[in-house]
């Protein structure tokens, strides 16, 4: 059993598990942090960005000044943003049989895999994962395609050139493999390969293994996966949460008794407790608005935004913010808000019960009804007519490199009254803000990551007790910036096996058993013989029939009568030829009784010698030797077949036949 | 006993003696016993029995009953004990063989009812009451009762076991009372038989292998040394000390809890205060042998003692400091601070083991921190506490708790993992951090305390309760710094801290959690109150957004927060007024007016009681402190407040209104020279009379009397009481001889009237207060000084005062009522019985 690790990002995993005869890709995350190296894509012409000076090498060489721009000491690529794909060289991805998706954030690289690698298998995911994943992909494509960029930079990617660049460009990994965003047809093609599954549904893969999605509590439709055969169980835990937010609670019990537990997608900000961060978010938002400023919240169109809107629903009246408009701008804003209300079966218990009242499970419906929350596909159109300040704007993309957020950063960045509040933990807020410097607006970092923290992991592992834990290497040591925090790492026994990008792990357990079925007719014909009290044996003569990874023992074909005709037997005869079987023997020979028996039959000079493995019985007169060992008996006599048969029969008297 | 009770008693006794007539409510019996206890204290018990033969008959009857109820039997045991406390009565009962039948082996002891804990408890209490004379002791020794008490020490019912222990203490101290002067050596003297028996029992128990017996004896000794400070206790100790030390040396020490109690109890006894006393050797031994989690209470107890050898104190302090020292060393700290201890008292491995275990670490630290905090509040601490290292260790613990400390060792790593996010330890550490403020100075605060406090105040993960503690600690340090003489530089640094603090407060006031907003407001109130004299503080405050946010919170949806906002605004408003008096500082005066109006609006419209109560107490403060807006037109202010309060249904708001009325009336009288100040110049009677009439007119204008009389009729007793008190004071001031004349002139009778009459008068007044005043004397209502004065004089205030001061159940408390109640309950039962058949 092997694990191929194609992604170095612990929360955007992409691993391939080879288990029995199947090749299973676990998640398909797309590392978008590469886009932070690019200049933002403004929706309207930005004089500031277009006037940025080109970057000049120390020696005055200007050959890169068209591709690279400098802003407040940082260098950015002036080109369409590109993404860092999962490793494609480690194994032939066309051999992947299935892809299991655990949540909508972990499927963003799907079109790159299904459309470019010769993949012919099936993708399994839950319905909300697919629907919201589609929204995220569509939003991403829309953000990038609506701002076409004539220029495409590639000179800087040259290894020799990259060496000369300042950090972080210099240290960016595998820039040659970075790719532009996929297109809508590619998204559609990729999504068409998905087969929808429900929680606890058992899916057979070629009869070899069974995969089952389990609720992971992190997002709508998010799942952990159980991959099991009859005698082995692998659990794949990715992006789980034990907090009571909107999704259905995590199913922990089904993870018990795993041989291997692959653990990914823990919280990216283990020191920030989501409750505290929500409090911070609300306080900062209220403070800004009270002072007449605007609040910008760069976010994804689904996920934490639902919880934030719910908190604000309860908070705005108490904070005196009832008259402040909340805007949610995204090409998929409407769909996201509406989808969230229809996935009742995937929601937490409280929200599910609301549906039966009937009430919308999320209170943002009421915010929309009362006009407190308004949503728009983009800043163009209706939004510009309704726009009132001070206000709160939720919009994407959290990387601040594309999407409507770029416009608001340019618009509000100059005033210290305004605040940008980062709630998505995927991007470093300092890096995200770098191309907007110098910036007067206030920046607040309130990352809300509801995924498991290390205390919860430690409790989970105690509870489910897997034999082995496998996780990204980042989880086996304290975070580099807080090396004294030994509590911020996985602590389990035996220590977790760690992996890094482009590594292949041989998982530490061996398959020892395989299940074989016996046909009823064959079972009927067996005659068990009790060897010891409680233990019976029977010989089985059968044909092992293996098809679709299922093994069946069928009765052997009856010995064929010699054909009447003298026709030559056809080679393609179905049943193999069977010889009549000799019985098997069992038991041990008690030496004293054996000697007595020999003497009774006229062997007078019997001598017994003990050897390391058993006994040697010497019949001196007959010049014969009987070698009796645990698993074999030899009668060595000099060409006297009668004597040999006689002795053999005497030996057989002491053994059982079956 | 009065006649009525004597007449009722026989029927009550008959009821109690009748096993078919169960008394439904046990509390009657308790009250009945209490009554007899009081009676026997004032009257002769013997006479009581002789005059009421039904009592003796009751005892006899119950003894004869085949199947008495356990509650009745228990009652009889206790009742007999109360009577037998008097020696003459004891003889009387013994002659009738009642005592032996009740407390001897043939009595309840051998009956099936002994299984009932209430009967055993009654027996013990009866014996306890009885042991007031030697005859009782002899009786108990002879009838084998002492062995029964020994057995009851280990009774499954904790009440019985504890009562038995107390009884043994009482018997021992009582039997030895008269021998103390003769005692020199236990072996040389002739101790009473009973005492000897008890001491042998204690010794045997201490030597036994049974942990429970050892604990019982230790408890007994603890109680005994706690209540008896006679010389013989020292002799007893000398006999037992060796065994006690042996118990301490056992591993593990099972009875450590009881041993600590024993030492603490003994250490407080003057008998053992001498430095050479062997007690201190045992205490030293305990400090060495018990682990820090067990011995903390003893150590802190020792440090609180006035009389104690210095070496023991130093050792006790070391025991308390050891865990702190360990924590300090477990974190890599700059070397500027020495450790807390020069040498380790205990095996430091024990402390390290306790600290590295999740279950014991937090509790050991919480306990140690609490003990050390206790020491900070002692007026005199007889040992030198290493304050700076201690403070540093507290800061280190707080750092560990939020992951800021860098572990320097394996132990540090373990502590770090255990403490991160541990609210219990955070709270205890913040408590002591605040307490340590009284010792240390500015430089220490700026060194590390301010950083850690800001870290806690800023952290979004700080729980509301921990945040409250952080606020409290911060307040203590800031108040301390504001009081201490400091250089300009120092204060500038403090101002920087205040600026950071106000940024945090700004955020906290906008928190979505009401507890946080509330704590922040409470903190601000106190901060403004204590630091308002500091220029720098005022500048930082008014240059921040905080005042505006505080005002916004007057409309908070949570009533507690609104109440705190009201109080905070009350303080802030006083501060703003203070600034306005200073030249060169602008303030929005127009704004202030609206604050008064806002608070008045809250008082009259807020649906919750808390904000209204807060408003009234702010108004009282304003009136007392002379808030300029109040001073501008005090009459109008008081009048409108009283009007709002008058219609309030919350009794606390009303009580607040009464306090305001009291302050106002005292101020008015005082301003006119009528206050009861001993040093005030005596004004002439003519001037006085003018002033009196002037005050009266003021009171009438603000409708003070209408309010006070209304409150006097209030159904809430505290309101009526308070109104009555104020009215009595006013009456004393206003209704001197002149009022008598007025009354006679008006032709009204001077007969005292009660509440009904007053209510009628108030109704008349209110009907007169309609928009069109009629102007005649009778109809002038509350506005007419003469009419008011007349009412004030006529109402029987003194009578009302008396009846209001009596508790509402004073009638039901009388013994007569009790006896009637017992009979009535039984009657009800009989009725029910009749119904059944």
Which pLDDT tens digit goes with each residue over A404-441?
A: 999 999 999 999 999 999 999 999 999 999 999 999 99
Model confidence band, residue B313 (pLDDT cutoffs 50, 70, 90): very high
Find the residue in B nearest to A286 (Cα): B510
Note whether B510 contacts A286, CB cutoff 8 Å. Answer: yes
Q: Do A484 and B407 touch (CB under 8 A)?
A: yes
DSSP A229-249: -SS-EEEEEES---S-SSBPP
- Please indicate whether residue B755 or residue B217 has the higher confidence score (pLDDT): B217
Partner A contacted by B409 (CB < 8 A): no
Contact state of A283 with B507 under an 8 Å Cβ cutoff: yes
Per-residue pLDDT averaged across A390-409, rounded? 96
Q: Using the predicted structure, report yes or no on whether residue B344 has a pLDDT greater than 70.
A: no
Return all residues near A470 (Cβ < 8 A) that are at least 6 apart: A3, A260, A261, A262, A263, A496, A497, A498, A499, A505, A507
- For testing the chain A interface, which of B358, B403, B510, B544 should be mutated: the one with the most A CBs within 10 Å? B510
Beta bridge partners of B338: none
> Is residue B747 over pLDDT 50?
no
Percent of chain B whose pLDDT exceeds 70: 85
* ipTM of the modeled complex: 0.77
Q: What's the length of chain A?
A: 658
Find the CB nearest B460 among A277, A286, A455.
Answer: A277
| Residue B439 confidence (pLDDT) above 80 | no
The verdict on a CB contact (< 8 Å) between B406 and A484 is: yes
Closest chain A residue by Cα to residue B516: A279
Residues of B in contact with A484 (CB under 8 A): 405-407, 416
Around Cβ B140, how many Cβ atoms within 10 Å? 22
Q: What is the reported pLDDT for A64?
A: 84
pLDDT at A280 > cutoff 60: yes
Which residues in chain B touch residue A286, judged by CB atoms under 8 angstroms apart? 510
Confidence (pLDDT) at B448: 86
Q: What is the rounded CA–CA span in Å between residue B502 and residue B532?
A: 15
Contact: A291, B545; criterion CB under 8 Å: yes
Q: A90: which DSSP letter?
A: S
Nearest-CB residue to B461 (from A276, A318, A486) = A276
Q: What is the DSSP string of B473-530?
A: HHHHHHHHHHHS---HHHHHHHHHHHHHHHHHHHHHHT-SSHHHHHHHHHHHHHHHHH
The string of DSSP letters for A139-191 reads: HHHHHHHTS--S----GGGSHHHHTTSPTTTTT-S-GGG-B----HHHHHHHH
Across A101-129, average pLDDT: 96
Residue A455 distance to chain B (closest CA, Å): 10
Q: Give me the pLDDT at residue B836, please.
A: 42
Nearest residue on chain B to A274, alpha-carbon basis: B461
Which chain A residues are Cβ-neighbours of B547 within 8 angstroms?
none
In this model, does residue A23 exceed pLDDT 50?
Answer: yes
How big, in percent rounded to 5, are the helix, strand and coil portions of chain A?
Answer: 30, 25, 50
Shortest distance between the Cα of A285 and any Cα of chain B, in A, equals: 9
Which position has the higher pLDDT, A102 or B557? A102
Would you say residue B40 has pLDDT above 50? yes
The pair phi, psi for residue A504, each rounded to 5°, is: -115, 125
- Segment B78-102 shows an average pLDDT of 90
- Residue A399 has a pLDDT of 96
C-alpha torsion B331→B336→B341→B344, nearest 10: 50
Q: What is the nearest CA distance from A123 to chain B, expressed in angstroms?
A: 40
Q: Could you tell me which residues come within 8 angstroms of residue B92 by beta carbon, excluding any fewer than 6 positions away? A: B46, B49, B50
B549 contacts on A by Cβ (under 8 Å): 290
Asked if residue A578 has pLDDT above 60, the reply is no
Smallest Cβ–Cβ distance between B512 and the set A279, A485, A486 belongs to A279
Separation in Å, CA of A282 to nearest CA in chain B? 6
Assign B584 a pLDDT band (cuts: 50, 70, 90): very low
Pairwise CA distance, residues B317 & B311, whole Å? 10
Among A380-394, B656-670, B733-747, which is the least confidently predicted range? B733-747
Helix or strand (DSSP H, E) at B26: helix B26-42
Tens of pLDDT, residue by residue over B156-175, are 999 999 999 999 999 998 88
Tokens of B693: 């009439």
Taking only residues 468 to 487 of chain B, the set having a beta carbon closer than 8 angstroms to any beta carbon of chain A reads none
pLDDT for the residue B768 = 63
Per-residue pLDDT at B586: 45
* Averaged pLDDT for residues A209-233: 95
- pLDDT value, residue A563: 60
Residue of A nearest to B462 (CA): A276
Contact call for A485 and B416, based on CB within 8 A = yes
Over residues B178-187, mean pLDDT: 55
- Chain B: give the shortest CA distance to residue A315, in Å: 6
Quote the minimal CA–CA distance from A299 to chain B in Å.
21
- Position B687 pLDDT exceeds 80: no
Name chain B contacts of A478, Cβ cutoff 8 Å: none
Q: Which of A275, A286, A462 to mutate to test the interface with B (most CBs of B within 10 A)?
A: A286
Q: Which residue among B417, B461, B512 places its CB closest to the CB of A315?
A: B512
Longest distance between any two alpha carbons in chain B, whole Å? 99
Residue B11 sits at the chain A interface (C-beta within 8 Å): no
The minimal CB distance from B403 to the residues A277, A446, A485 is found for A485
- Cis upstream peptide for A390 (omega within 30°): yes
Share of chain B above pLDDT 90, in %: 37
Which pLDDT does position B180 carry in this prediction?
A: 56
Confidence of residue B300 (pLDDT cuts 50, 70, 90): very high
**What is the rounded average pLDDT of the residues A83-97?**
94
**Entry pTM:** 0.82
A chain contacts of residue B511, beta-carbon cutoff 8 Å: 279, 282-283
* SS3 state at A37: helix
Q: Does residue B290 surpass a pLDDT of 50? A: yes
Task: Report helix, strand or coil for A522.
Answer: helix
Average confidence (pLDDT) over B465-472: 96
How close is the nearest chain B Cα to the Cα of A281, in Å?
Answer: 9
Contact B510 A287 (CB under 8 A): yes
Q: How far apart are CA B71 and CA B29, in angstroms?
A: 9
Chain A residue numbers with beta carbons less than 8 Å from the beta carbon of B420 are 485, 487
Task: Answer whether B461 sits within 8 Å of A272, measured CB to CB.
Answer: yes
For A282, the closest of B416, B512, B549 (CB atoms) is B512
CB contact under 8 A, B511 and A283: yes
> Does B543 lie at the interface with A, CB-CB under 8 angstroms?
no
pLDDT band at B447 (very low <50, low <70, confident <90, very high): confident
From A209-223, B185-199, B623-637, B763-777, the region with the lowest mean pLDDT: B763-777
Length of chain B: 837
Is residue A259's pLDDT more than 50? Answer: yes
Q: Is the pLDDT assigned to residue A140 strictly greater than 70?
A: yes
pLDDT of residue B343: 58
Reported as a single tens digit per residue, the pLDDT across B492-530 is 788 899 999 999 999 999 999 999 999 999 999 999 999
Is B416 close to A487, i.e. CB distance below 8 A?
Answer: yes
Q: In this predicted structure, what is the pLDDT of residue B590?
A: 47
- Backbone dihedral angles phi then psi of residue B269, each to the nearest 5 degrees: -85, 130
- Candidate from A308-317, B104-113, B224-233, B577-586 with smallest mean pLDDT: B577-586
Q: Residue A121: what pLDDT?
A: 95
Please tell me if residue B544 touches chain A, with a CB cutoff of 8 Å.
no
> Measured between alpha carbons, how far is B702 from B387 in angstroms, rounded to an integer?
57
Q: d(Cα A225, Cα A216) in Å, to the nearest integer? A: 9
Strands A122-126 and A98-100: parallel
**Structure confidence at residue A348 (pLDDT):** 92
Task: State whether B512 and A276 contact (CB < 8 Å).
Answer: no
Average pLDDT of the residues of chain B: 83
Q: What is the mean pLDDT of residues A340-363?
A: 90
Residue B465 has pLDDT above 60, yes or no: yes
Question: With bands split at pLDDT 50, 70 and 90, how would you rate the model's confidence at B809?
Answer: low
pLDDT at A82: 95
Nearest-CA distance from B588 to chain A in Å?
A: 19
Across the interface, whether the CB atoms of B507 and A280 are under 8 A apart is answered yes
The enclosing H or E element of A469 equals strand A468-472
Chain A residue numbers with beta carbons less than 8 Å from the beta carbon of B461 are 272-273, 276
Is 50 exceeded by the pLDDT of residue B592?
A: no
**Is B292 a residue whose pLDDT tops 80?**
yes
A332-341, B304-313, B481-490: least confident range: B481-490
Residue A130: its pLDDT value, please?
Answer: 97
Per the model's pLDDT, the better-predicted residue between B67 and B320 turns out to be B320
CB contact under 8 A, A484 and B513: no
For position B22, what pLDDT does the model report?
64
Cα distance from A487 to chain B (closest Cα, Å)?
5
B403 and chain A: CB distance < 8 Å anywhere? Answer: yes
* pLDDT tens, residue by residue, A474-520: 999 999 988 888 889 998 888 999 999 999 999 987 888 889 999 99
* C-beta atoms surrounding A245 within 10 Å: 21
Residue that wins the pLDDT comparison between B95 and A580: B95
What residues of A are in contact with residue B507 (Cβ under 8 Å)? 280, 283-284, 287
pLDDT reported for residue B778: 44
The answer to which of A240-249, A517-526, B821-830 has the lowest mean pLDDT is B821-830
Q: Which of the two residues, A367 and B679, has the higher pLDDT score?
A: A367
Q: In DSSP terms, which residues pair with A38 in a beta bridge?
A: A77
pLDDT on residue B385: 86
Most confident of the following: B383-397, B601-615, B692-706:
B601-615
Read off the pLDDT band of B741 (50, 70, 90). Answer: low
């Amino acid at each position: 059993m092997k694990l191929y690790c194609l992604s170095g990002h612990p929360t955007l995993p992409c691993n391939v598990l080879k288990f029995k005869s199947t090749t299973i890709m676990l998640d398909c995350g797309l590392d978008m942090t590469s886009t932070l190296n690019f200049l933002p894509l403004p929706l309207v012409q930005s004089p500031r960005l277009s006037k940025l000076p080109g970057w000049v090498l120390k020696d005055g060489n200007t050959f890169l000044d068209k591709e690279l721009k400098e802003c407040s000491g940082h260098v950015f690529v002036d080109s369409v943003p590109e993404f860092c794909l999962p490793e494609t060289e480690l194994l032939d991805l066309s051999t992947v049989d299935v892809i299991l998706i655990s949540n909508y954030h972990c499927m963003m690289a799907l079109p790159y895999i299904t459309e470019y690698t010769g993949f012919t298998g099936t993708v399994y995911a839950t319905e909300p994962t697919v629907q919201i994943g589609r929204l995220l992909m569509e939003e991403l494509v829309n953000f990038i395609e609506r701002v076409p960029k004539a220029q495409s930079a590639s000179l800087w990617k040259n290894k020799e050139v990259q060496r000369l660049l300042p950090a972080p460009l210099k240290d960016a990994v595998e820039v040659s493999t970075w790719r532009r965003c996929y297109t809508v047809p590619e998204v559609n093609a990729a999504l068409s390969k998905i087969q929808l599954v429900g929680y606890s549904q058992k899916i057979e893969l070629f009869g070899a293994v069974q995969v089952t999605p389990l609720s992971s509590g992190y997002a709508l439709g998010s799942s952990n996966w159980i991959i099991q055969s009859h005698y082995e169980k692998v659990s794949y835990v990715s992006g789980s949460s034990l907090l009571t937010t909107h999704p259905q609670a995590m199913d922990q019990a089904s993870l018990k008794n795993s041989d291997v537990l692959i653990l990914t997608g823990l919280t990216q900000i283990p020191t920030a407790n989501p409750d505290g961060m929500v409090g911070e978010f609300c306080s900062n938002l209220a403070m800004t608005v009270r002072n007449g400023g605007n609040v910008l919240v760069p976010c994804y169109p689904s996920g934490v935004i639902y919880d934030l809107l719910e908190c604000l629903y309860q908070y705005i009246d108490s904070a005196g913010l009832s008259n402040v408009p909340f805007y949610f701008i995204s090409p998929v804003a409407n769909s996201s808000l509406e989808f969230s209300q229809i996935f009742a079966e995937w929601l937490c218990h409280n929200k599910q019960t609301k549906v039966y009242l009937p009430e919308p499970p999320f209170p943002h419906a009421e915010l929309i009804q009362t006009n407190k929350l308004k949503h728009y596909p983009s800043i163009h159109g209706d939004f510009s007519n309704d726009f009132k300040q001070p206000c709160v704007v939720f919009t994407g993309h959290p990387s601040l490199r594309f999407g409507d957020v770029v416009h608001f950063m340019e618009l509000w960045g100059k005033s210290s009254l305004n605040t940008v509040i980062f709630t998505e933990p995927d991007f470093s807020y300092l890096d995200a803000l770098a191309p907007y410097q110098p910036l007067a607006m206030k920046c607040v970092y309130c990352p809300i990551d509801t995924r498991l923290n290390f205390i919860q992991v430690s409790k989970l592992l105690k509870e489910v007790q897997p034999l082995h834990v496998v996780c990204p290497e980042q989880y086996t040591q304290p975070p580099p910036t807080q090396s004294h925090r030994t509590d911020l790492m996985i602590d389990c026994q035996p220590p977790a096996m760690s992996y890094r990008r482009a590594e292949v792990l041989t998982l530490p357990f061996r398959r020892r058993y395989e299940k074989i079925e016996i046909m009823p007719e064959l079972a009927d014909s067996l005659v068990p013989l009790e060897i010891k009290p409680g233990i019976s044996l029977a010989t089985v003569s059968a044909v092992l029939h293996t098809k679709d990874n299922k093994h069946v023992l069928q009765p052997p074909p009856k010995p064929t009568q010699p054909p009447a005709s003298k026709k030559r037997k056809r080679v393609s005869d179905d049943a193999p030829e069977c010889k009549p079987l000799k019985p098997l023997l069992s038991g041990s020979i008690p030496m004293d009784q054996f000697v007595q028996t020999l003497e009774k039959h006229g062997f007078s000079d019997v001598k017994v010698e003990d050897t390391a493995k058993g006994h040697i019985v010497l019949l001196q007169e007959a010049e014969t030797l009987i070698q009796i060992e645990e698993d074999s008996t030899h009668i060595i006599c000099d060409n006297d077949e009668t004597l040999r048969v006689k002795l053999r029969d005497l030996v057989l008297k002491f053994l059982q036949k079956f | 006993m009065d006649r009525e009770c004597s007449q009722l008693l026989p029927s009550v006794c008959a009821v109690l003696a009748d096993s078919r007539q169960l008394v439904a409510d046990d509390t009657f019996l308790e009250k009945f016993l209490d009554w007899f206890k009081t009676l026997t204290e004032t009257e002769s018990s013997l006479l009581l029995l002789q005059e009421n033969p039904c009592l003796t008959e009751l005892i006899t009857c119950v003894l004869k009953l085949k199947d008495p109820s356990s509650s009745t039997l228990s009652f009889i045991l206790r009742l007999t004990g109360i009577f037998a406390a008097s020696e003459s009565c004891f003889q009387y009962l013994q002659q009738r063989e009642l005592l032996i039948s009740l407390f001897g082996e043939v009595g309840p002891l051998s009956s099936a009812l002994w299984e009932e804990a209430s009967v055993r408890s009654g027996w013990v209490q009866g014996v306890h009451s009885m042991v007031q004379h030697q005859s009782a002791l002899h009786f108990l020794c002879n009838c084998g009762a002492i062995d029964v008490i020994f057995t009851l020490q280990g009774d499954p019912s904790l009440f019985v076991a504890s009562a038995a222990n107390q009884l043994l203490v009482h018997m021992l101290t009582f039997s030895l009372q008269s021998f103390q002067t003769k005692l020199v050596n236990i072996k040389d003297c002739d101790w009473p038989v009973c005492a000897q028996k008890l001491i042998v029992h204690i010794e045997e128990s201490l030597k036994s292998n049974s942990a429970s017996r050892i604990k019982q004896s230790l408890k007994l000794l603890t109680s005994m040394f706690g209540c008896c400070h006679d010389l013989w206790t020292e002799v007893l100790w000398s006999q037992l000390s060796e065994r006690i030390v042996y118990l301490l040396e056992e591993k593990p020490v099972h009875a450590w809890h009881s041993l600590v109690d024993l030492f603490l109890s003994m250490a407080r006894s003057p008998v053992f205060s001498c430095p050479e006393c062997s007690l201190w050797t045992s205490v030293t031994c305990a400090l060495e042998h018990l682990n820090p989690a067990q011995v903390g209470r003893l150590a802190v107890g020792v440090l609180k003692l006035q009389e104690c050898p210095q070496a023991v104190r130093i050792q006790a302090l070391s025991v308390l400091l050891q865990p702190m020292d360990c924590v300090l060393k477990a974190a890599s700290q700059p070397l500027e601070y020495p450790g807390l201890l020069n040498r380790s008292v205990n095996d430091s491995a024990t402390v390290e083991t306790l600290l590295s275990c999740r279950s014991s670490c937090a509790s050991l630290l919480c306990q140690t921190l609490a003990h050390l905090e206790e020491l900070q509040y002692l007026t005199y601490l007889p040992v030198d506490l290493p304050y700076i290292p201690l403070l540093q260790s507290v800061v280190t613990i707080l750092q560990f708790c939020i992951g800021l400390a860098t572990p320097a060792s394996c132990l540090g790593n373990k502590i770090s993992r255990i403490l991160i996010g541990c609210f219990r330890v955070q709270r205890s550490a913040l408590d002591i951090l605040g307490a340590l403020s009284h010792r240390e100075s500015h430089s220490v605060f700026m060194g590390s305390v301010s950083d850690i406090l800001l870290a806690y105040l800023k952290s979004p993960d700080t729980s509301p309760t921990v945040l409250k503690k952080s606020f409290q600690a911060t307040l203590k340090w800031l108040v301390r710094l504001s009081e201490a003489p400091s250089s300009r530089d120092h204060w500038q640094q403090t101002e920087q801290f205040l600026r950071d603090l106000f940024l945090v407060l700004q955020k906290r006031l906008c928190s979505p959690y009401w507890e946080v907003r509330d704590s922040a407001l409470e903190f601000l109130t106190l901060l403004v109150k204590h630091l308002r004299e500091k220029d720098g503080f005022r500048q930082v405050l008014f240059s921040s957004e905080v005042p505006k946010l505080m005002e916004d919170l007057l409309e908070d949806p949570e009533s507690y927060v609104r109440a705190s906002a009201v109080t905070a605004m009350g303080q802030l408003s006083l501060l703003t007024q203070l600034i306005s008096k200073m030249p060169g500082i602008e303030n929005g005066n127009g704004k202030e007016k609206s604050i008064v109006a806002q608070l008045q609006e809250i008082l009259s419209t807020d649906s919750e009681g808390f904000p209204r109560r807060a408003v009234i107490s702010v108004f009282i403060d304003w009136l007392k402190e002379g808030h300029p807006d109040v001073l501008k037109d005090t009459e109008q202010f008081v009048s409108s407040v009283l009007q709002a309060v008058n219609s309030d249904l919350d009794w606390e708001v009303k009580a607040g209104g009464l306090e305001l009325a009291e302050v106002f009336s005292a101020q008015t009288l005082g301003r006119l020279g009528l206050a009861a100040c001993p040093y005030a110049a005596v004004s002439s009677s003519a001037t006085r009379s003018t002033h009196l009439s002037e005050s009266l007119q003021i009171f009438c204008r603000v409708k003070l009397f209408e309010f006070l009389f209304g409150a006097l009729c209030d159904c809430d007793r505290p309101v009526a009481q308070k109104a009555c008190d104020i009215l009595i004071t006013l009456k004393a001031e206003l209704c001197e001889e002149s009022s008598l004349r007025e009354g006679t002139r008006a032709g009204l009778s001077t007969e005292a009237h009660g509440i009904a009459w007053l209510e009628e008068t108030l109704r008349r007044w209110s009907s007169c207060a309609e928009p069109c005043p009629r102007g005649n004397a009778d109809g002038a209502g509350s506005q007419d000084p003469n009419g008011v004065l007349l009412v004030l004089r006529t109402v029987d205030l003194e009578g009302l005062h008396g009846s209001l001061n009596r508790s509402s159940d004073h009638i039901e408390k009388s013994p007569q009522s009790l006896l009637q109640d017992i009979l009535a309950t039984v009657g009800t039962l009989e009725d029910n019985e009749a119904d059944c058949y």
